[in-house]
């Protein structure tokens, strides 16, 4: 049912667009270990796509393949219809892909605002020299980018910590700052690596609300990895389920929930 070229309509009535990224028969090996075995799926414009699976299922490896950090030994990744060559991280960023990390990777000594501003880097055209002098074009450019950064700070409700160094923030807020930085890049595709890991119920609810509003407000396409099933089922439009490097399910949350292989993977199989 998801084969139509021009997307589908979600349960809550959003129009999902054409395929943005397509994985074709991806296999990834580390020496003798096959982390991903022959997986294919796609990500469509405007959807929230989740990749779930038990520990060690290969979720993070999959995200790294999507982000271009790992190059699979077999299969290919199509981005906007074109096969993607091996790329440096900054080239990936220029393509409009932003991500957050499972273990937060922020500049600890810098303020929240400065961290969010680094997300604007790909949108700045003036050089280091003119930025240091802060004259003419560089000044105007900073103002424009600051405005975008401030809109995101407002959106994620982190105004109160705008000037606080990141090192002083609690974990849940750092996660939110990382999201702000990724969002500041105005990405076409946003990759979230376990956005809810280590959070309490309230923080998870906040984060879910932000992810949904982001998708709603900016139309950002989101691919996320998560092992909290409840959260994923509420958030996503379509879910890929992985187990031991293999794809064992793909579809809407309801389809996945009723898939016997998925139930077995999560709850175990009885051997009687």
Partner 1 sequence: MSKTSDGANGLVSVPALLYRNASEFGNAPAYREKEFGIWQSWTWSQTCEEVEALALGLLDLGVAEGDFIAVIGRNRPYLYWSMMAAQMVGAVPVPLYQDAAAEEMAYTLSHCGARFVIAGDQEQVDKVMEVQAELSDFEAMIYLDPRGLRKYDHSALTQYSAVQAAGRDKRSALEPEMKSRIAKLDYDSTCVMLYTSGTTGKPKGVVLSNRNVIETSKSSSEFDGLRQSDSILAYLPMAWVGDFIFSVGQALWTGFCTNCPESAETMHTDLREIGPTYYFAPPRVFETQLTNVMIRMEDASPFKKRLFDYFMGVARRVGPAILDGESVSASDRLLYNIGELMVYGPLKNTLGFSRVRVGYTAGEAIGPEIFDFYRSLGINLKQLYGQTEATVFITAQPDGQVRSDTVGVQCPGVELRIADNGEVFYRSPGVFVEYYKNADSTADTKDAEGWVATGDAGFIEESSGHLRIIDRAKDVGKMASGSMFAPKYVENKLKFFPNILEAVVFGNERDECTAFINIDLNAVGNWAERNNIAYASYQELAGHPEVVATIQSHVEEVNASVAQDEMLSDCQVHRFVVLHKQLDADDGELTRTQKVRRRIIEDKFSDIIDALYNGSTDVSTTTEVTYEDGRKGAISATLDIRSAAVRPVAQKMAAE
Closer of 108 and 154 to partner 1 (Cβ)? 154
Contact residue for partner 1 among 144, 154, 234, 254 (CB under 8 A): 154
Site for partner 1 in 68-127 (CB under 8 A): 113
Is residue 160 close enough to count as binding partner 1 by CB under 8 A? Answer: yes
Query: How many other CB atoms are there within 10 angstroms of residue 229's CB atom?
Result: 17
Return d(Cα 156, Cα 214) in angstroms, integer: 9
Q: For partner 1, which is the closer residue by CB, 91 or 217?
A: 217
Residue among 7, 8, 14, 165 that touches partner 1 (CB under 8 A): 14
Task: Single out the residue of 101, 155, 244, 266 in contact with partner 1 (rule: CB under 8 A).
Answer: 155
Cα 187 from Cα 20, distance rounded (Å) = 12
Nearer to partner 1, 74 or 154 (CB): 154
Buried b (16+ CB within 10 A) or exposed e, 193-217: bbbbbebeeebbebbbebbeebbee
Kind plus residue range of the DSSP H or E element containing 239: strand 238-243
For 230, the enclosing helix (H) or strand (E) is helix 229-235
CA–CA–CA angle 4, 7, 8 (5° rounding): 100
Residue closer to partner 1 by CB (options 135, 151) is 151
Cβ proximity to partner 1: between 216 and 254 the closer is: 216
Tell me which residues touch partner 1 (CB under 8 A). Answer: 12-14, 113, 146-147, 150-151, 153-155, 157, 159-160, 162, 202, 205, 209, 212-213, 216-217
């Amino acid at each position: 049912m998801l084969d139509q070229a021009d997307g589908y309509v979600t349960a809550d009535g959003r129009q999902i667009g054409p395929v943005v990224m397509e994985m074709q028969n991806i296999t990834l090996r580390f020496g003798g270990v096959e982390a991903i075995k022959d997986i294919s799926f796609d990500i469509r414009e405007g959807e929230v796509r989740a990749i779930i699976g038990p520990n060690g299922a290969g979720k993070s490896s999959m995200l790294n393949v999507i982000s271009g950090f790992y190059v699979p030994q077999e299969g290919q990744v199509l981005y906007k219809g074109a096969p993607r060559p091996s790329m440096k991280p900054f080239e990936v960023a220029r393509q409009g892909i932003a991500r957050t990390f499972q273990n937060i990777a922020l500049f600890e000594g810098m303020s929240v605002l400065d961290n969010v501003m680094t997300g604007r880097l790909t949108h700045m055209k003036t050089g280091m020299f003119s930025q240091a002098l802060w004259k003419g074009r560089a000044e105007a450019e900073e103002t424009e980018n600051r405005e975008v950064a401030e809109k995101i700070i407002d959106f994620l409700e982190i105004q109160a910590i705008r000037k606080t160094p990141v090192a002083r923030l609690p974990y849940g807020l750092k996660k939110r700052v990382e999201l702000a930085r990724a969002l500041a890049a105005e990405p076409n595709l946003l990759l979230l690596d376990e956005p809810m890991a280590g959070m309490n119920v309230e923080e998870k609810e906040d984060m879910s609300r932000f992810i949904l509003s982001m998708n709603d407000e900016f139309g950002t396409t989101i691919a996320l990895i998560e092992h909290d099933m409840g959260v994923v089922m509420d958030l996503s439009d379509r879910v890929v389920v992985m187990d031991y490097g293999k794809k064992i399910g793909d579809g809407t949350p309801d389809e996945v929930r009723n898939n016997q292989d998925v139930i077995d993977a999560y709850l175990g199989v009885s051997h009687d």
